Amino acid sequence: MQPAITTESALASIQEKMAACMQCGVCTGSCPNAFAMDLTPRQLWRLVLAGRTEDVFRSHTFFLCSQCFRCTLRCPRGLQPTEAMSELKHLAYRSGWFERSESVVFYRYFLESVRRHGRVHELELMSRYFTAMRNPVLPFRFASLGIRLIGRGKLAIMPSAEGCRDLGALFRKVDEMEKRL
Amino acid sequence: MKYRYYPGCSLEGSAREYDISTRAVMAALGVELLELEGWTCCGASAADFASRLLSLILPARNLALAEAAGEPWTLMVPCSACYLNLRRVTETIRSKPGTKELLNEALAVDGLQMSGTVSVRHLLDILSRDIGASAVRAIVRKPLSGLRIAPYYGCQCLRPYPVFDDSEAPTSMEPIIEATGASVFRWHMAGACCGASHINTHHDAALVMIGAILEDAAGADAIVTVCPMCQLNLEAFQHRVRTEGARRIDIPVLYLPQLIGLAAGLSPKQLGLELNLSKPLAVV
């Protein structure tokens, strides 16, 4: 287990953000993803505020936030639940607990593509994602789309040379700053 | 009118027709677009996952480039996710002291810096408020009479920053659609979420959300969008969603500039219509 999550302070900044939550459930009622979540957003905030770290990260609810920001605009307390969801995703990403999670793997390769080329190279991203997930069904969900996109010349085989910028130095600098902050 | 133009990664790939049609229609409207030289990815929703700092620095890099490029000071962004990320930088600088210094420390690695003078605006914001429906009407050569068009806004051009439209009941596309001669199809899902990148990471949940939107559009001749992620989700997975009575959904999903361009008499080729995956609009 990585220290990022097990320490008591891991949830502290999220607890601070959500401290005024009165459990009204407007977030749950507004959430287009609630149907697919194991815990509703309202239930998740209760667990966060109670400091039940393990229960929070045993749930996949925060991975299912699609950042539509409905709850943020509707929260009668003026809280920012979408931001809090992002912080949970970030903690999960850093924790090392979710190395097999589709979200973590997908976004890792996404950023890898940005770091190397400056822009996302869709074909490279998807092929590395499929390889890393080692789920034989996964590529088939996208096979017909891939063929149609390639047929229309919409998926470049190679990243565009014109747009290519190596962002390695910037990424390293951000890493270094994050350790300090 | 002149704008700095940030296409974003999708518009170079799976959403090329959005780029092609935006450029063509802006030219037809007499609006000059100057592409931001050396632009890079805004970080999409990935940077937020990995690092809160990176999620500001990746878009800030582009704002710094735009500042260095000088006039025009308004950055036009057609992709809603890019728009949100770029806009978040300017909003965070305003609300959180010390942010700008932090960003500039990182950007110095690339010899860049920013002060926050560039204004970030969505394509729909510019179309509806700067250009306006009457200017659109003025270039119409082939009115799209008889077509019922469902305006689909999705999320991130409306929320969390309700800059140019109502975040609950958006209407900014309606005068533009009416200006093309088409009529507005009234429906409930105009500002609903398509699931965005859930299609990659939570596939089955995304299909439910996409299905609900497409079912509600039954009776419309086309759906019109202003976001590459929404557009791809709604058109590429139409035949995959489970519908009531296993009805097959087959509806054209266009980008708003493609619709305007058709009414302006531009050719399908000029609007990249052959690149869409959904069935062509009946008039084409």
Backbone angles phi, psi at A73, to 5 degrees: -80, -20
**DSSP code for B223:** E
pLDDT tens string B150-171: 999 999 999 999 999 999 999 9
Question: Are the C-beta atoms of residues B47 and A120 closer than 8 Å to each other?
Answer: no
pLDDT score of A159: 77
B contact residues 221-250, partner A, Cβ 8 Å cutoff: 236-237
pLDDT score of A92: 92
Are B9 and A122 inside 8 Å of each other by CB?
yes
Same domain, residue pair B61 and B108: yes
Which chain A residues are closer than 8 Å to B277 by Cβ?
145, 148-149, 152
Angstrom distance (rounded) from CA B74 to CA B220:
35
Best residue in B51, B101, B271 for a mutation probing chain A (most A CBs within 10 Å) = B51
Query: Does residue B233 belong to any structural domain of this protein?
Result: yes
Ramachandran assignment for B2, one of left (phi > 0), alpha (psi -120 to 50 degrees), beta (any other)? beta
Same domain, residue pair B154 and B115: no
CATH (domain of B203): 3.40.50.11810
Residue predicted with more confidence, A1 or B267: B267
For tokens 């009479």, the residue is B145
Best residue in B95, B198, B233, B271 for a mutation probing chain A (most A CBs within 10 Å) = B198
pLDDT tens string A40-89: 999 999 999 999 999 999 999 999 999 999 999 999 999 999 999 999 99
- Give just the sign of the alpha carbon dihedral B60, B65, B71, B77: negative
Concatenated DSSP letters for A135-171? -TTHHHHHHHHHHHHHHTT-S-SS--TTT----HHHH
Give the residue numbers spanning the domain of B228.
143-263
Same domain, residue pair B169 and B230: yes
Question: Are the C-beta atoms of residues B89 and B112 closer than 8 Å to each other?
Answer: no
Are A35 and B110 inside 8 Å of each other by CB?
no
> Which of the residues in chain B have pLDDT under 50?
none
Band (pLDDT 50/70/90 cuts) for residue A4 is low
Q: Across residues A114-135, what is the average pLDDT?
A: 90
Same domain, residue pair B82 and B7: yes
Angle between helices A81-95 and A102-117 (to 10 degrees): 90
Query: Does residue B206 belong to any structural domain of this protein?
Result: yes
Contacts of A109 (CB under 8 A, 6+ apart): A125, A128, A129, A132
Concatenated DSSP letters for B128-194? IIIIHHHHHHHT-SS--TT-EEEEE--STTTSS--SSS-SSS--TTHHHHHHTT-EEPP-S-TT---
Best residue in A107, A116, A123 for a mutation probing chain B (most B CBs within 10 Å) = A107
Query: Does residue B137 belong to any structural domain of this protein?
Result: no
Question: Are the C-beta atoms of residues B221 and B149 closer than 8 Å to each other?
Answer: yes
Report the percentage of chain A scoring pLDDT > 70: 96
| Of the candidates B78, B76, B54, B47, the residue with the CA atom closest to the CA atom of residue B197 | B47
Query: Does residue B108 belong to any structural domain of this protein?
Result: yes
Are A90 and B52 inside 8 Å of each other by CB?
yes
| pTM recorded for the entire structure | 0.95
Same domain, residue pair B88 and B177: no
Tell me the shortest Cα–Cα distance from A6 to chain B, in angstroms: 18
Angstrom distance (rounded) from CA A88 to CA A61:
10
Q: Across residues A101-123, what is the average pLDDT?
A: 91
Same domain, residue pair B155 and B98: no
Q: Across residues A2-24, what is the average pLDDT?
A: 82
> Mean pLDDT for chain A?
90
Same domain, residue pair B156 and B248: yes
Are B50 and A122 inside 8 Å of each other by CB?
no
Whole-angstrom CA distances from B127 to A20, A78, B23, B121, B136 are 39, 31, 13, 10, 9
Question: Are the C-beta atoms of residues A102 and A117 closer than 8 Å to each other?
Answer: no
Same domain, residue pair B187 and B233: yes
Query: Does residue B62 belong to any structural domain of this protein?
Result: yes
Last residue of a domain, one of B92, B122, B152: B122
How many structural domains does chain B have?
2
Last residue of a domain, one of B122, B153, B182: B122
Asked if A177 has any chain B CB less than 8 Å from its own CB, the reply is yes
Question: Are the C-beta atoms of residues A164 and A117 closer than 8 Å to each other?
Answer: yes
Are A33 and B195 inside 8 Å of each other by CB?
yes
pLDDT score of A5: 59
Same domain, residue pair B154 and B107: no
| Of the candidates B226, B233, B269, the residue with the CA atom closest to the CA atom of residue B249 | B233
Asked if A133 has any chain B CB less than 8 Å from its own CB, the reply is no
Same domain, residue pair B152 and B109: no
Q: How many CB pairs under 8 A join A and B?
A: 166
Are B159 and A72 inside 8 Å of each other by CB?
yes
Of B105, B159, B204, the CB nearest to A68: B159
Query: Does residue B80 belong to any structural domain of this protein?
Result: yes
pLDDT score of A10: 80
Same domain, residue pair B33 and B113: yes
Are A63 and B275 inside 8 Å of each other by CB?
no
CATH (domain of B118): 1.20.1050.140
Band (pLDDT 50/70/90 cuts) for residue A6 is low
Query: Does residue B280 belong to any structural domain of this protein?
Result: no
| Of the candidates B208, B138, B210, B153, the residue with the CA atom closest to the CA atom of residue B184 | B153
| Six token digits for residue B176 | 């533009």
Of A107, A111, A119, the CB nearest to B9: A119
pLDDT score of A1: 42
A contact residues 15-74, partner B, Cβ 8 Å cutoff: 32-33, 35-36, 63-64, 66-70, 72-73
Same domain, residue pair B182 and B234: yes
Angstrom distance (rounded) from CA B21 to CA B270:
7
Report the percentage of chain B scoring pLDDT > 90: 92
